[in-house]
Amino acid sequence: MATSRARRALLAGATALAAAAAAVAQERPESLLPPGFSDPAPAPSAAPRTPAPVATATATGGVPMVQPLPTPGGSPSPLPSPSASPSPMPTPRYEMPASARRSLARVGASDAFASDAFGAADGAYLETLMRRLSAPLPSRWLSIALRRMLVARVDTPAGVGGADFAAERAWLLLRMGEAADARAVVQAVDTDRITPKLRQVWMQAALATADPAGLCPLADAAGNSERGWIVARAMCAGLTGNARSQPLIADVRRRRVASGVDLQLAQKVMGAGLNSRQAITIEWAPVTELTAWRFGLATATGVSIPDELYATVGAQVAGWRALAPGIPLAERAVPAEAAAAMGVISSAALVDLYSALGDADDMPAPLTRTANALRDAYAANDARARLDAMQRLWDEAETPAARYARLVLTAHAAGRLPVVDGDARADRVIASMLTAGLDRTAMRWSGHVKEGGDAWAMLLLADPDAIGQRPGGVVGTYAPEGPLAERKRQLFFAGLAGLGRLSQGDMEERASSLDVRIGAENSWTRAIDRAARERQPGTVLLLAAVGMQSGRWSGIPPAALYRVVSGLRAVGLDGEARMIAAEAIARVG
C-alpha cells in the first residue's frame, strides 16, 4: 500500500511540474503533431505488465478455429504408425543462444551516455515527462543532447518494462523529427519481446523512415487488433513474392479494412515485390490530410506528395523528409534546412546535400544559386569574397528558423576564415561557428570583435577555458540592439549565472536590476535541482526540455534558462550548457 501511494505521488508530482513548467514558459504551444499523424498510433497507452492469455478475435468478431479438423467419417488413418506421432510444430528459422539475446534491463542503440543516466528515478515518472513534452524543441543544442540520451543504451528504470520504456523514448524521438534514431531504439528489442505499446511505435517508426518492409518482422504476430497490421501482412507477402498476397489484399478490400489512397499505396508497395504485374495509379485529389501511413508508403514507392498536404502536418515531418532517400534531392533541400535548425541533421550533412545539388543537372535556379554561393564561401579567392558569399546565403533567408539554418550551413566555412578586426558581420560569423560546436575555433576572434556586441557576448558564454568568475559589470557592458534588446540582456545574465561565471552577490544584484527571478521555486525547479544533485543527466535533460516548452526562443523565461544551464553543468554536460547559453543570444532578435 505504501508503495502504491508513493507511485501515485510521483505521478502526481510529474503532472504538477509539467503544469509549473508551462507557467514558467508563459505559454505552452499546442501539440505539433497534426490529427492525421496521431490517428494510427495515438500517444501510446501502457501495456499490461503481465497480460493474461486471451482468445484472439478475428476482424469480423468471431473466434478463430484453432482445433484440428476431424477426418471424414471419423475413421482412423489407414496406415497406423508404430509409435505416437509427434504434434506438428513450426520449425524456427533461427535458434539464438541465451547469451545472444538482448536484455530488457538495458536497452538502446549507442553508448553516448553512461548506463545509469536516470539513476534511481521512477520509470512511470520519466514516461510521464516524455509523453507530455511538446516537440520539436526551440533549442537546437538541447534537442541534440536529448536525442543522444534517448538513443543511448541505458538501464531500464524501476517500475516499467524495458520494451515499454523503449517505446516511450522512440515515440518522443519521432515527435522531435528523429525517425532513424527512433527506429534504432525500437529495433534494439528482440522481436519476441515486443509489447503492444512497442508494436504501435514500431509501426510509426517504420512509416516515418519510409520502410514498409520494416513492418514484416511483426506483421504475422500482430493479429487483427489494428487495421494497419492486417494490410501490412498483405504488403509483406507481396514484397516476398508470396502467392497469398492477392487473396490477402482481396480480403482487405472485401472487409473494407482499407480503401481509397491508403489501399492504393499498399498495392503500390506490393507492386514493388517479386513477379508483380500491378500498375497502380495514386489519386491524391480527394485526400485532405497527410498521415504517417500515407507519408511512409508514398515515400517508399517514389510517389510525390502534393505540397498542400505537407502543410497539414507538424514541423517534425521536415526531419523525416530530410533523411528519406526516396525523396529527390531537390525536394529535400528546404526540409533539410528546417531539420538542421531543429538539430536533426548536422552542418556537415547539410553541406553534403548542397554539394550534391551543385553537381547535379537540371536543378531549380534557386538551389543552384545557393550551391554556388556555398562553394564560394569555401573556395573564393580571398577572405573578403568568402565572407561576402556567406552574407548572400544569410540574407536570402526570410524566417527566423531559415536564418538560423543558414548559419548552420556556413559553420565550417566560417571556421576557415582568418580573423578580421572590426567587421560588422562578426556577430553572424561567431554564431555560425557555434551552431556546429566550433567553440575553440570561434575563440580566435576574442579581442577582435566589438565589445558589448552579440559576438562578444557569445564568446564569453561559449569560452571552454573560462576559469573563475567575471565581475558583475560585464553584464552591464552588453549592449544588444533591436526590439528584444532587454530580453537578450536578461538571457545573457541568466547564461552567465547558470555557468557559474558570476559571484553570489553579483547574481543577486543583477537579478534584481534585470527582474530575472532566478531564486523563485516551483515543482519544476525543485525537480530539476534534485535531479542535478543526484547526478541524473538523463532526468535533467528531460526536465530541461519541459522547462523550454515554447514555440520560440523569446518566449523562454530567463529564469528557466538559468536552471537549464546550471542543471546541465552540474551533471557534467558543460559543453551543451555553454552552447545553449550562446544559442539564446544568436536566436533572439
- Which of 421-425, 484-488, 549-553: highest mean pLDDT? 484-488
Confidence of residue 31 (pLDDT cuts 50, 70, 90): very low
Give the Cα separation of 402 and 1 in Å (integer): 54
Distance CA 319, CA 172 (A): 13
| pLDDT tens per residue, range 112-123 | 999 999 999 999
Is the model more confident about 577 or about 91?
Answer: 577
Q: What percent of the chain lies above the pLDDT cut of 90? A: 70
Judge whether residue 19 has pLDDT over 70: no
pLDDT at 361: 87
**What confidence score (pLDDT) does residue 94 get?**
58
Q: Which residue has the higher pLDDT, 525 or 83?
A: 525
Q: Kindly report, residue by residue over 71-89, the tens digit of the pLDDT.
A: 333 333 333 334 444 455 5
Does residue 387 register a pLDDT over 90? Answer: yes
Confidence of residue 312 (pLDDT cuts 50, 70, 90): very high
How many whole angstroms separate alpha carbon 547 and alpha carbon 527? 11
* N-terminal to C-terminal alpha carbon distance within the chain: 53
Chain centroid offset of residue 60 CA: 37
Residue 106 per-residue DSSP state = E
Enter the pTM of the model: 0.84
Out of 41-50, 61-70, 172-181, 183-192, which region has the weakest mean confidence (pLDDT)?
Answer: 61-70
What would the pLDDT profile of 433-443 be if each residue is shown by its tens digit?
A: 999 999 999 99
Give the C-alpha separation, 451 to 456, whole Å. Answer: 6
* pLDDT tens-digit series, residues 400-413: 999 999 999 999 99
191-203 mean pLDDT: 95
Over residues 347-367, mean pLDDT: 93
Per-residue confidence (pLDDT) for residue 551, from 0 to 100 = 86
